[in-house]
Amino acid sequence: MIATRNLLKPIAKVSDHPVGAACRIWAAAAWRLLRANPVVSGTVGAALLLLLFLVARKQTEDRPSHSGYYPVKRSDFLISIVEGGTIKAVHEETVRSQLEGVARIISIVPEGTFVKKGDLLVELDSSDLRERIGSQEVVYQNAHFAALQSKEYLSIQKSVADSNIREAELKLEFAGTDLQKYKEGDWPQLKKNSETKIRITKMELGRTQDRLNWTQQLHKKGYASRSELEVDSLAVEKAEIGVEQSQEELRLLEKFDYPKKVRQLEAALEQFEKELGRIKQRSAAQVAQAEADLQAKTTGLELQETRLNQQKAQLEFTKIHAPEAGLVVYASSSNPGSGVLIEEGASIRQKQDIIKLPDITQMMVEVRVHESHVQKIRPGLTAYVTIDSLPDEQFKGSIRKVAVLPDSTSRFFNPNLKVYTTEVVIEDSLPDLKPGISGRAEIIITNLTDVLMVPIQAVTTVNGRQVCFIEQGGSSVPAPVEVGLYNEKYIEIKSGLKEGDQVLLSALSFSDNNNFSESSAAADSERASTGSANQPGVPGNTPHDRKRAHGNQTNAELPQTVIASTNHSPIISKFVAPTSEASSSHDRDRKN
């Protein structure tokens, strides 16, 4: 116990330093623990005390030679942005319900299961859908039968139309033939017969006339009787009447019978022509009506078939299979604020997210970068990711995407806060991690090598110029400086200081309590040869930058982003080794 107390004495000597004070508290706690529990393992106690001793010794060695001053040093200077975020999969497939309406979950694969492509994920209730498919099958069959009937009826109508048209055409053809036959056959024959009859009657008249003349001569001579003369006279009269009748018949045929017959045949021909036209029109209308009926029935059949196929397709949607391999994450787990619980028996609407399948073979961390730093980052920048569950390991990555517009969800709690979602893809191989765990990404902006640097609180503004107060002759004298890049703790000095100068850490409070207009002018004259100049527009020349120098930012002025925090970033610790006094002074100012 005495040896332990002697070991804690050097730690107590650094109580004037903040880290030393913390070590003193730890040492006191360790001392009380050892006194209360003497049986504590000696190895554990010795290791704890040795660690506290080494830290206290290191902090004691790093203290500057002059209280409140910091020696200007040349060192490497890393500019980076550190942001916390959530680990997500780069590629994530969302499984949604494609079933129309609302359906109930019958079975679902347990969350956290790793599935392969094609595995059954969710089965929805299909009882009502199967009933609708059965009813639709009946409607479809009726429509199919009606379409077949319409098709056969159209075929019959076409056949009947062809027969009627052919019959009318034949009648027309026969009427034309009859007309032609009468004109070229019947009429010439009738006329010839009548003319022949006239010629025969005339010949008969001549013969009877000669016989009458001979009989008259014989009667005069007494060789023929009077009766014979009267008979021959009667025969002549009959022959004359026959000639007249034959001539009258020919006249009647030519004047009345022939024109009448021709007109009758021509009228019949014209009537058959019109009848043929009417039959064609009637047949065309009947066929068109049959075709329209067939088209309507066919369209109805196609509509019913489409509905049946759609319902059968909907039946396939009741079983949802994995589109690709991945880890099963319920949509309600990834979005707790949605108010929808994914479980067996839950009702799911169409297009609703059910399961997410993240591909955990490639992960990324999604962070939100404040608007004050978003112009510094771009896709392709190198980043280092630290996962909270694996604090001792770092993974290399790069920026994949920077959002074009600020994140709207972050502005809900603070309308003045504007952050941009940034995706950092992890390029190194990862252990078996699940999406949703917390992590931090350190985005490397640039690395300045071998530059002069001072703590950021050592730079302030006097009479509109950035200055540092350097120790000169036992007093603090303002020295105009030209500053460069900066992070949360340090700022680059391009000109105005040299390595080894002692700069005052509490520059802002010192300048507020003293008037340095004359001394500042004198310092400007002394350092005119150094070519120092003001650089408006860089840190330190506005009240906001003065607040940044002392760490007194408000929530609206100070973004959530932590720039190059050497206390938290293992990457920065490789390049920048801050002194204990600079860190402690800056920490004290932030507490104030």
Q: What backbone phi and psi angles, to 5 degrees, belong to 434?
A: -105, 145
Cβ–Cβ < 8 Å for 470, 504: yes
Q: Is residue 584 part of a domain?
A: no
Q: In terms of domains, do 489 and 565 share one?
A: yes
Q: In terms of domains, do 179 and 240 share one?
A: yes
Q: In terms of domains, do 77 and 133 share one?
A: no
Q: Is residue 24 part of a domain?
A: yes
Q: In terms of domains, do 105 and 163 share one?
A: no
Q: Is residue 140 part of a domain?
A: yes
Q: In terms of domains, do 74 and 147 share one?
A: no
Which of 317, 342, 371 is the last residue in one of the domains? 317
Could you give the 3-state DSSP secondary structure of residue 346?
A: coil
CATH of the domain at 260: 1.10.287
546 compared with 132, residue with greater pLDDT: 132
Q: Is residue 592 part of a domain?
A: no
Q: In terms of domains, do 311 and 378 share one?
A: no
Query: Each residue of 47-100: pLDDT tens digit?
Result: 555 655 554 444 444 443 345 899 999 998 888 888 999 999 988 889 999 888
Q: What backbone phi and psi angles, to 5 degrees, belong to 390?
A: -130, 70
Q: Is residue 557 part of a domain?
A: yes
Among the residue ranges 35-39, 277-281, 425-429, the one predicted with the least confidence is 35-39
Q: Is residue 347 part of a domain?
A: yes
Query: Each residue of 504-543: pLDDT tens digit?
Result: 998 888 877 765 544 444 444 444 444 433 333 333 433 3
CATH of the domain at 339: 2.40.50.100
Q: Is residue 587 part of a domain?
A: no
Q: Degrees (nearest 5) of the Cα angle 415, 420, 423?
A: 150
Cβ–Cβ < 8 Å for 490, 576: yes
What's the mean pLDDT in 289-313?
93
Q: Is the pLDDT of residue 493 over 90?
A: yes
Q: In terms of domains, do 106 and 226 share one?
A: no
412 compared with 274, residue with greater pLDDT: 274
CATH of the domain at 540: 2.40.30.170
Q: In terms of domains, do 104 and 185 share one?
A: no
Instruction: Count how many domains the chain has.
Output: 4
Q: What percent of the chain has pLDDT over 90?
A: 34
Q: In terms of domains, do 218 and 174 share one?
A: yes
Query: What residues have CB less than 8 Å from 442, skipping those under 6 apart?
Result: 80, 81, 82, 383, 384, 385, 386, 569, 571, 572
Could you give the 3-state DSSP secondary structure of residue 515?
A: coil
Which of 259, 288, 317 is the last residue in one of the domains? 317
User: Can you give the pLDDT at residue 133?
Assistant: 92
User: Can you give the pLDDT at residue 334?
Assistant: 63
Which of 358, 383, 410 is the last residue in one of the domains? 358
DSSP codes, 100-140: SSEEEEEEEPPTT-EE-TT-EEEEE--HHHHHHHHHHHHHH
Query: Each residue of 283-295: pLDDT tens digit?
Result: 999 999 999 999 9
Q: How far apart are CA 293 and CA 289, in angstroms?
A: 6
Structural domain range at position 6: 2-63
Q: Is the pLDDT of residue 494 over 70?
A: yes
Confidence of residue 431 (pLDDT cuts 50, 70, 90): confident
Q: In terms of domains, do 56 and 75 share one?
A: no
Q: Is residue 267 part of a domain?
A: yes
Question: What's the count of helices (H) and strands (E) in the chain, helices before strands?
Answer: 13, 23
What's the mean pLDDT in 305-314?
92
User: Can you give the pLDDT at residue 399?
Assistant: 95
Q: In terms of domains, do 231 and 206 share one?
A: yes
State the pairing for strand pair 120-124/102-108: antiparallel
Q: In terms of domains, do 392 and 412 share one?
A: yes
Confidence of residue 338 (pLDDT cuts 50, 70, 90): low
